[in-house]
Amino acid sequence: MNSLHYLYAAYIATWAIHGMYLWILARKAGQLKKEMGKLKKAVSTQHSTLS
């Protein structure tokens, strides 16, 4: 394998690791937003049944 291939592999691996972590964070944020939306809905229906 040419030494340039190792160089490209290292740089691609670096960005793949950072990209994967950012993707995990974005997914987590999406899930939390959905969960919060559901909770808000549940709270508003609870309030309406109590009143």
Partner 1 sequence: MKRGFSILAIVTALLLSFGLYAALVIAPTERTMGDVQRIFYYHVPSAWTAFLLFIINFVASLLYLIRKNIKADILAQVSAEVGVVFCTVVLVTGPIWARPVWGIWWTWDLRLTLTLLLWLIYVSYLVLRRFSTSGQTPVLAAVLAVFGAIDVPLVYFSIWFFRTQHPSPVIGGGGSLDPGMGRVLLINWAAFLCLAWLVCWTRYRLEVFKREVDEAHALQLLPEVSR
Binding mask 1-40 for partner 1 (x = CB under 8 A): x-xx-xx-xxx-xx--xx--xx--x--xx--x--xx--x-
What minimum distance in Å lies between the beta carbon of 51 and partner 1? 13
Q: Measured between alpha carbons, how far is 20 from 40 in angstroms, rounded to an integer? A: 30
CA distance 33 to 21: 19
Q: Which residues bind partner 1 (CB under 8 A)?
A: 1, 3-4, 6-7, 9-11, 13-14, 17-18, 21-22, 25, 28-29, 32, 35-36, 39, 42-43, 46
